Structure 1
Amino acid sequence: MNADLNPNSLKEGEDFYYTPEGYKCFTEQYHLKRGYCCKSGCRHCPYGFNKKTDDMNKKKNG
């Protein structure tokens, strides 16, 4: 994991936000900083992973 992604240094509104249900949701910017797809079907996945088809649908940004 990227050293810049220490959970204590994440910025609300930039790296994550809270959903109306109270869950932490990571932003596309956070995923790009992390540098890889975790294949969990994240809401803002910039890598295009589709959990239903277990396939990458988009090209990696960058």
Structure 2
Amino acid sequence: MKKIIPLEEGDYYLTPEGYRCFTAQYLLKRGYCCESGCRHCPYGFNQKTNYHK
């Protein structure tokens, strides 16, 4: 079962289209890379090559 991480200020922002975009701050708190090509991935995942920096 995945751990629930409460959202705090700075964990996300709303895009002009109205979507939540998680920041590197939140992704680091989550503790792992989901390999979905997140815009602010702090783990360096490249979705085109399926490779972490």
Calculate the TM-score normalised by the size of structure 1. 0.75
* Structure 2, unpaired ranges of 5+: none
Structure 1 residue 29 corresponds to structure 2 residue 25: yes
Instruction: Structure 1: give runs of 5+ residues left out of the alignment.
Output: 58-62
The list of structure 1 runs, each at least 4 consecutive aligned residues, that deviate by more than 4 angstroms after superposition, is: none
TM-score by length of 2: 0.87
Q: Could you tell me the percent identity over the aligned residues?
A: 63
Task: Measure the CA separation in 2 of the matches of 1:17 and 1:35.
Answer: 19
The superposition leaves residues 11-48 of structure 1 with CA deviations (integer Å, 9 ceiling, x where unpaired) of 3x511000011110000000000000000000000000
Query: Please, what is the CA RMSD of the aligned residues?
Result: 1.3
